[in-house]
Amino acid sequence: MFPLQRGRRLRVNESIRSIVRETTLSPSDFMFPMFIAEGENYQVEIPSMPGIFRRSIDLTVKEVKEIYALGIRAVNIYVKVDESLKDNTGKEAWNPQGLMQTSIRAIKAACPEMIVMPDVALDPYSIYGHDGIITHGDVENDSTNEALVKMAVSHAQAGADFVAPSDMMDGRVLRLRQGLDAAGFHHVGIMSYSAKYASAFYGPFRDALDSAPVDSTDIPKDKKTYQMDYANRIEAIKEALMDVEEGADMVMVKPGIAYLDIVREVKNAVNVPVTVFHVSGEYAMIKAAAERGWLDHDQIMMEQLMCIKRAGASLISTYFAKEAAVLLNK
């Protein structure tokens, strides 16, 4: 039979394709992860992440103003802590004059409308490179939660709009909500890394912060006792639902492109915005392939970001945020 319905009628030219397009991207869909270091007028490119830098606070503030002008409205910030400040308690994480707290104040002073979501986890502050306090050779859940509450409250005191716990400790969202509320920060939100998988895609990020677990026979060699097994799907939905019940305002799936089935499952299950982290390894692969001429950088970048949005992301944390915003603004 001759087809009455011809899908190609809606693909004839770009004007038609644009009016029937189901998913669109804008700079406000992006959150830019930023790495901050001590010093002044300092920046160094991360070798495994071309175009991404560790910057001192002054240059970070300059970059924040630039990306805000492009339409990006959120930053996820991480700090490179001096080795001398690391221990097993993570106490530098809640130092009111620490690098993270000083960075938050500086960003909010320079660009008050930028949404600042500092990372909440102990790995940048740990001599062991783990997300929590090591007790009897393993990461101890409940004492870590107590430390994370102190850390989150210090971020709120510095001016953070959301705190972003990436540690994957059990029950930490409830403890953070209780701690923030008790300190008078009812308005500060929680964006929880709810389905954070134990992934090999994080390698360049750990290079950026020097936060990989140390090689020791006395402690876990990786983070698989608290980050999720990448073979699991139902567990991700359970984790996201529990975090919402405990008070999370947003939930996150991490990594991104390799986990779009999880993004859709979580999006269907929860009634809060879903953030997706397009992680360092995913970024590095595109950069490396594009440098060799194997892929078209901009087309692949935009296709991946669109696919993450299509899968259900309300917000995409991506190292491509600035580059993508420039293209979209054109």
pTM: 0.95
| pLDDT per position as a tens digit, 313-323 | 999 999 999 99
What values do phi and psi take at 195, rounded to 5? Answer: -115, 80
- What confidence category does residue 207 fall into, taking pLDDT thresholds of 50, 70 and 90? confident
- What confidence category does residue 154 fall into, taking pLDDT thresholds of 50, 70 and 90? very high
pLDDT of the residue at 214 = 78
Q: Which residues are annotated as a binding site?
A: 239
Decide: 78 and 125 in contact? Cβ < 8 Å.
no
Residue 304 DSSP SS3: helix
- Catalytic hit among 86, 223, 254, 309: 254
pLDDT of the residue at 220 = 85
The question of whether 196 is a catalytic residue gets the answer: yes
Q: Which residues are annotated as a binding site for Mg(2+)?
A: 239
Strand partners, 31: 74, 317
Domains and CATH numbers, the chain: 31-329 (3.20.20.70)
Peptide bond into 213 cis (omega under 30): no
Q: Percent of the chain, pLDDT > 90? A: 91
Please identify which residue in the block is written with the tokens 């939660």.
Answer: 145
- Catalytic hit among 108, 196, 287, 309: 196
